[in-house]
Structure 1
Amino acid sequence: MTKRTADQIYDSVLNRIVDGDLRPGDSLGEQSLAAAFGLSRTPVREALQRLANEGLTERGPRRTFVVRRMGQAELHDLFEALGELEALMARLAALRMTEIERHALREIVSDSERPGIDYEQANARFHEALQLGAHNGMLSNLLADLKNRTMPWRGAQFRARADRVTSSQTEHRAILKAVLARDGDQAHLQMRDHMAASMRVIAELIGT
């Protein structure tokens, strides 16, 4: 077994969670995954444990791994932390982005409004551009961890609520306007509002 092999399994399962192919509560059988990859169960177990350490999987019935479920209170706390950090990154990006980065952010927002666009990917690109534009590696690492923990739910809001795409696009334009104006306070405020709106939709989905 090599670390690279466990990483490949990790990446595959993570991508399926992010894409929505695996939903909270779905079983992740070690034996079936091992058979799918043509490997022993050891690297599979290592990959699933890594996902558990990141808060994406947990032990379910009979000690098998499942995609982790979250209650509203726990998810609220997670998104509150994420929202504050995203808002800080937006503030820093407004102050620190280069002209090339600002132009790229404008293009991302424009592209995300084209008909037929994969908005989940466009949304991820927007937030990643701000994360990189903040030019703070330590904060970026912290944000990446929180993003991993919330990925399944962040994507679900767009699949379950078509109107959320439209409102998210409007919120992105407001954040972009603040960043282009180099207004850190407004970028911070708009991003907090954006993340709060996402949390409200996700809370509704969990409650249904």
Structure 2
Amino acid sequence: MTGRAADAILDALIARIVSGQLPPGDPLAEQALAEQFGVSRTPVREALHRLEHANLAVRGARRAFVVRGMKPEELCELFEAVGEVESALASLAAHRMSEIERCTLQAILEEGEACGEDPKAYGEVNARFHKTINDGAHNKVLAATLEELNTRTLPWREVNFTQDHRRLGSSRTEHREITEAIVVRNAEKTRCLMRSHVASSYSVAARILARRSS
């Protein structure tokens, strides 16, 4: 129960931070948040630690958490790193995925195309789509590197679908192209398409950050 409560609190705080409802420097007080969410301080504390790990919160005066400001150049560098690592994994996946893994990827693609305009539902399918490709690369070192980067960028990638509904359509198109390249084992095309896919996510995130900062 504590883990699920922490997940819900984390999701809510991320949405508020990325949308600008909680601007940089705003306090994230454990007791106040516990009362707001109707829970004990334990899941709030867990959510705040995870928020800090995602670089969305930082320790302020007296070690209390506050919302961390994200600079445009930091966001750019993070997404650039994700694009390079994830495109390398995608390229390997085009070579190494088994037929079962390729069929699984195609099934997930169809799920994403059938889930309508629900950003939350699509976000969940999107996460599974990327995980299936990353697992299909069969390289634990690169996968671990990407997981660390995703901790810091995934909130921005997921908010793409709630802040810009046009991103649902373009993401589906990009997923289809990536899947087609993987199915025919075109590693170099897959690499380029995945790098472009991450860059598209960055473009939306950068616009969201700019709006939040204005």
Q: TM-score range by the shorter chain?
A: 0.7 to 0.9
* Secondary structure of 1:66 counterpart: strand
Deviation at 1:124, TM superposition (A): 1.0
- Matched with 2:31 is 31
- Matched with 2:130 is 127
In 2: Cα distance, 1:119 partner to 1:69 partner: 28
Q: From the superposition, tell whether residues 81 and 46 of structure 1 become closer, same or farther in structure 2 (CA, over 3 Å).
A: same
Deviation at 1:132, TM superposition (A): 1.0
In structure 2, what residue type is equivalent to 1:124?
Answer: A
Tell me which of 135, 140, 144 is aligned to 1:141: 144
Q: From the superposition, tell whether residues 148 and 17 of structure 1 become closer, same or farther in structure 2 (CA, over 3 Å).
A: farther
- Matched with 1:76 is 76
- Matched with 1:14 is 10
Is the CA contact 2:178–2:193 (under 8 Å) kept in the aligned structure 1? yes
* Secondary structure of 2:70 counterpart: coil
Is the CA contact 1:54–1:145 (under 8 Å) kept in the aligned structure 2? no
1:190 aligns with 2:193: yes
* Secondary structure of 1:28 counterpart: coil
Q: From the superposition, tell whether residues 202 and 39 of structure 1 become closer, same or farther in structure 2 (CA, over 3 Å).
A: closer
In structure 1, what residue type is equivalent to 2:97?
Answer: M
Q: From the superposition, tell whether residues 13 and 73 of structure 1 become closer, same or farther in structure 2 (CA, over 3 Å).
A: same
Give the number of aligned pairs.
201
Unaligned runs of 5+ in 2: none
TM-score, with length taken from structure 2: 0.81
Q: From the superposition, tell whether residues 120 and 45 of structure 1 become closer, same or farther in structure 2 (CA, over 3 Å).
A: closer
Tell me which of 159, 162, 165 is aligned to 1:159: 162
Is the CA contact 2:9–2:44 (under 8 Å) kept in the aligned structure 1? no
- Matched with 1:175 is 178
In structure 2, what residue type is equivalent to 1:15?
Answer: D
In 2: Cα distance, 1:201 partner to 1:50 partner: 24
Unaligned runs of 5+ in 1: none
